[in-house]
Amino acid sequence: MKDIFLATILGLLFSLSLLMKWRFNKSLEILSMFGRPAASIFILSSVVILFYKDYHLTGLIAALLSIYLLRTIWTTWPISEEKRIFEDISKDQERWVSANSIDLQFANKSVKHEAPIMLLPPDPFPEMLIFPPTSQTLHELCD
Q: What is the pLDDT of residues 95-108, one digit of tens each?
A: 777 777 877 888 88
User: Which pLDDT score is estimated for 105?
Assistant: 83
pTM for this one? 0.47
**Sign of the four-CA dihedral 103, 108, 110, 114:** positive
Over residues 8-31, the mean pLDDT reads 72
> By the 8 A CB rule, do 70 and 43 touch?
yes
Query: Cα–Cα distances in Å, from 98 out to 102, 120, 141?
Result: 7, 35, 57
pLDDT at 110: 83
More confident residue, 62 or 20: 62
Label residue 3 by pLDDT band (50, 70, 90): confident
In the chain, the amino acid numbered 109 is K
Q: What is the pLDDT of residue 9?
A: 82
Task: Check residue 129 and give its pLDDT.
Answer: 66
State the Cα–Cα distance between residues 30 and 54, nearest whole angstrom: 29
Residue-range domain boundaries for the chain: 24-79
Residue 45 clears pLDDT 80, i.e. is over it: yes
Maximum mean pLDDT: which of 26-30, 41-45, 80-84? 41-45
Q: pLDDT category, 121, cuts 50, 70, 90?
A: confident
Q: Do 14 and 61 touch, CB atoms closer than 8 A?
A: yes
Q: How many residues does the chain have?
A: 143
Of all residues in the chain, the percent with pLDDT exceeding 70 is: 85
With contact defined as beta carbons under 8 Å apart, do 42 and 31 qualify? yes
Per-residue pLDDT band at 1 (split at 50, 70, 90): confident
